[in-house]
Amino acid sequence: MQRSATNKLRSLPAKQALFVEPMECLSVARLPEGSQWLWQIKLDGYRALAVKSGSAVTLFSRRGKSLNRQFPHIVERLADLPDGTVVDGELVAIDEQRTP
Catalytic residue among 8, 42, 52, 65: 42
E strands, the chain, in order: 46-53, 56-61, 86-91
Report the run of H or E that residue 74 belongs to, with start and end. Answer: helix 72-77
Report the run of H or E that residue 5 belongs to, with start and end. Answer: helix 3-11
* Residue 52 bears catalytic tag: no
Task: Please list the active-site residues.
Answer: 42
